[in-house]
């Protein structure tokens, strides 16, 4: 029973009733009851399964591939090669701070439950929980939206290249066809997530293996087949200032280029949301967070290096007139194989490897979304909460699964009217979710500094220091990614990130003041008796 004594005393008032009523249950179930919940989800996930779901959500193939063009535009090789480990180091700090709290409170609610408990002695618990929970769940839905829409766009590029390319009469799908592909992807993800957790565990492990092997295949194959490869000097020292955005400050360009890295290293809260289905959750949940981040940093850096060694002419890769229609990394793959074999089929196959990885990323993202929606509705925080926290005969929160898919579809619809509006919507994926990460960490190092009792995974005397560094990094990237990305600033070039995130904050705060403060009391026990 090592570790039971380390549970926070914030749950001590429930402990006697819980333990006395659950003597025959296993350790994880007892500890979940200690936190106020009757186990309803099947606890079948091992450490490997928990890690696999999170690793497939972080998915370096997804984030780097999607925003490789942004990295090339803002700084090029230098920004990507050196920006990646910088963002990775600070992301690890954020992950460590989250893992420590996860170890103390291993529930599907994750971040919002942590905030409630950490603020309970100051009576700020319900508001902290409400604020954190809505930023978390909307951020997660935005992540699923951006991932699956990115896959739909990549499929569009694959179709274009397979039918002759941009300059050879290739077929370019319309925005309506792209949204239809997006809807079909979400439908398949909802169907898969309706299966028993054992199937999801299998798919998660397969996805993790695919991501890992896919990175190694691409980082070796693409530069190997390219007839012209970049020099080491180019890869490690070339700084692209020709961004076409009217930005000339080298520091500013470098910082904007960090978006590729920071967007990729996102979604690792999934391990926390899966803890009620994970064995030895107070240890394996935190390890899942840290291992997913650490391994992603290593393989992601290798992927960046491998692809960048196949880059020669940055302007041609970013040009909308190239064969891939300006999709930079697709042009790199296609051009590498075409220059060697006279055909770009091999490059299209490589894009297929990436597409499968992105597909699994979206699938795992829906899994995480549904567990968050299940937990948040279990505590009465969502409209029609009684509907969303129901589980089926396979102990899957089936209604929350389909809700998550539907909301993610709706969040992509603004793309039909304006890509600017859509980009503003999915900007919540990076900034909104990181704000949700930072809130419980901030409460842990301030309001709960003296009474927080960590679980088996803890940072000891360094916990507060790590927490403050994590909070300051989130503040930094929130400001950074809200800055203009193009000059002069007009209605069409304005960075709408602060508008989207600020709008979300106003909606959440208004709903609290007008209504929720009267009835939402934070996490509510579902223990009988």
Band (pLDDT 50/70/90 cuts) for residue 11 is: very low
Nearest Cα neighbor of 347 from 218, 230, 212, 220 is: 218
Residue 7 is predicted with a pLDDT of 33
Q: Are 212 and 299 in contact (CB under 8 A)?
A: yes
Instruction: Note the Cα 225 to chain centre separation in Å.
Output: 32
Length of the chain: 529
Instruction: Write out the two tokens for 425.
Output: 């919507």
Nearest Cα neighbor of 160 from 344, 313, 317, 307 is: 344
Alpha-carbon distance values, 123 to 106, 126, 181, 253 (Å): 22, 8, 47, 43
Instruction: Write out the two tokens for 170.
Output: 């290739």
- Cα–Cα distance between 172 and 164 in angstroms, integer? 10
Instruction: Note the Cα 98 to chain centre separation in Å.
Output: 14
Residue 514 is predicted with a pLDDT of 94
Instruction: Dump pLDDT digits (tens) for 71-116.
Output: 999 999 999 999 999 999 999 999 999 999 999 999 888 899 999 9
Average pLDDT, the chain: 87
Residue 14 is predicted with a pLDDT of 39
What is 42-515's CATH number?
1.20.1740.10
Residue 18 is predicted with a pLDDT of 39
What is the arithmetic mean of pLDDT over 4-18? 38
Alpha-carbon distance values, 301 to 80, 228, 294, 339, 383 (Å): 9, 21, 11, 25, 42
Residue 495 is predicted with a pLDDT of 81
Please check the confidence at residue 23 and state whether its pLDDT lies above 70. no
Band (pLDDT 50/70/90 cuts) for residue 469 is: very high
Residue 135 is predicted with a pLDDT of 93
Cβ neighbours of 233 (radius 10 Å): 9
Name residues whose C-beta falls within 8 Å of residue 513's C-beta, 6 or more positions apart in sequence.
Answer: none
Band (pLDDT 50/70/90 cuts) for residue 421 is: low
Residue 424 is predicted with a pLDDT of 67
Residue 425 is predicted with a pLDDT of 66
> Phi, psi (5° rounding) for residue 45?
-85, 130
Q: What number of CA atoms fall less than 13 Å from residue 342's CA on the CB side? A: 0
Instruction: Dump pLDDT digits (tens) for 342-352.
Output: 999 999 999 99
C-alpha angle 394/399/401, rounded to 5°? 85
Q: Are 414 and 425 in contact (CB under 8 A)?
A: yes
Name residues whose C-beta falls within 8 Å of residue 215's C-beta, 6 or more positions apart in sequence.
Answer: 60, 61, 299, 300, 302, 303
Percent of the chain with pLDDT over 70: 93
- Cα–Cα distance between 366 and 382 in angstroms, integer? 18
Residue 404 is predicted with a pLDDT of 93
Instruction: Write out the two tokens for 275.
Output: 């803890």
The dihedral region occupied by 376, where left means phi > 0, alpha psi between -120 and 50, and beta the remainder, is: alpha
Q: Are 339 and 316 in contact (CB under 8 A)?
A: no
- Cα–Cα distance between 328 and 320 in angstroms, integer? 9
Instruction: Dump pLDDT digits (tens) for 475-524.
Output: 999 988 888 888 888 777 778 888 888 888 999 999 999 999 999 988 87
Band (pLDDT 50/70/90 cuts) for residue 199 is: confident
Residue 245 is predicted with a pLDDT of 82
Nearest Cα neighbor of 85 from 399, 253, 300 is: 300
Alpha-carbon distance values, 1 to 15, 17, 31, 200, 457 (Å): 15, 18, 11, 29, 15
Query: Which of 48-57, 60-69, 425-434 is the least confident region?
Result: 425-434
- Cα–Cα distance between 325 and 318 in angstroms, integer? 9
Instruction: Dump pLDDT digits (tens) for 241-291.
Output: 988 888 889 999 999 888 888 888 988 988 998 898 898 999 999 999 999
Domains in the chain: boundaries: 42-515
Band (pLDDT 50/70/90 cuts) for residue 422 is: low
Peptide bond into 429 cis (omega under 30): no
Cβ neighbours of 5 (radius 10 Å): 7
What is the arithmetic mean of pLDDT over 129-144? 92
Q: Find residue 527's DSSP bridge partners.
A: none
What is the arithmetic mean of pLDDT over 464-482? 93
Name residues whose C-beta falls within 8 Å of residue 138's C-beta, 6 or more positions apart in sequence.
Answer: 428, 432, 504
Alpha-carbon distance values, 231 to 39, 93, 217, 268 (Å): 57, 33, 21, 35
């Amino acid at each position: 029973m090592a570790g039971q004594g380390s549970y926070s005393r914030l749950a001590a008032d429930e402990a006697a009733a819980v333990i006395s009523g659950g003597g025959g249950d296993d350790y994880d179930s007892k500890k979940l009851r200690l936190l106020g919940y009757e186990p309803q989800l099947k606890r079948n996930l091992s450490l490997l399964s928990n890690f696999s779901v999170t690793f497939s959500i972080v998915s370096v193939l997804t984030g780097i591939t999607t925003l490789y063009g942004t990295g090339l535009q803002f700084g090029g090789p230098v920004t990507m090669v050196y920006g990646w480990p910088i963002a990775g180091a600070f992301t690890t700090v954020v992950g460590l701070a989250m893992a420590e709290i996860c170890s103390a409170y291993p529930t599907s609610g994750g971040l919002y439950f942590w905030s409630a408990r950490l603020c309970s002695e100051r009576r700020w618990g319900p508001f902290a929980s409400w604020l954190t929970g809505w930023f978390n769940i909307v951020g997660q839905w935005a992540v699923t939206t951006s991932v699956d829409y990115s896959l739909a766009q990549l499929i569009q590029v694959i179709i274009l290249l397979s039918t002759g390319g941009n300059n050879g009469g290739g077929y370019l799908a319309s925005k309506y066809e792209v949204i239809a592909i997006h809807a079909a992807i979400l439908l398949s993800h909802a169907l898969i997530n309706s299966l028993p957790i054992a199937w999801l565990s299998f798919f998660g492990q397969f996805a993790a293996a695919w991501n890992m092997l896919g990175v190694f295949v691409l980082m070796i194959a693409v530069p190997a087949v390219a007839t012209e490869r970049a020099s080491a000097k180019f890869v490690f020292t070339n700084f692209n200032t020709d961004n076409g955005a009217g930005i000339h400050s080298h520091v500013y360009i470098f910082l904007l280029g960090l978006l590729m890295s920071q967007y990729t290293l996102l979604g690792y809260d999934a391990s926390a949301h899966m803890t009620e289905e994970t064995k030895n959750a107070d240890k394996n949940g935190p390890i899942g967070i840290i291992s997913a981040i650490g391994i992603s940093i290593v393989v992601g850096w290798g992927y960046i290096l491998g692809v960048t060694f196949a880059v020669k002419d940055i302007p041609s890769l970013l040009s909308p007139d190239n064969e891939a229609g300006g999709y930079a990394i697709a042009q790199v793959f296609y051009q590498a194989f075409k220059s060697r074999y006279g055909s770009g089929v091999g490059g299209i196959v490589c894009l297929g490897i990436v597409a499968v990885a992105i597909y699994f990323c979206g699938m795992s993202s829906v899994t995480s979304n549904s567990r968050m929606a299940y937990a948040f509705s279990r505590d009465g925080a969502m409209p029609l909460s009684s509907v969303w926290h129901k589980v089926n005969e396979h102990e899957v929160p089936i209604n929350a699964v389909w809700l998550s898919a539907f909301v993610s579809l709706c969040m992509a619809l603004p793309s039909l009217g304006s890509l600017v509006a859509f980009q503003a919507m999915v900007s919540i994926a990076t900034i909104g979710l990181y704000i949700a990460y930072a809130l419980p960490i901030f409460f842990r190092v301030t309001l709960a500094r003296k009474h927080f009792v960590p679980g088996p995974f803890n940072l000891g005397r360094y916990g507060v220091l790590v927490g403050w560094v994590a909070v300051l990094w989130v503040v930094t990237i929130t400001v950074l990614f809200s800055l203009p990305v193009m000059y002069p600033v007009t209605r069409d070039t304005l960075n709408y990130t602060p508008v989207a995130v600020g709008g979300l904050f106003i909606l959440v705060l208004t709903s609290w003041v007008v209504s929720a403060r009267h009835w939402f009391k934070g996490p509510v026990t579902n223990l009988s008796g």
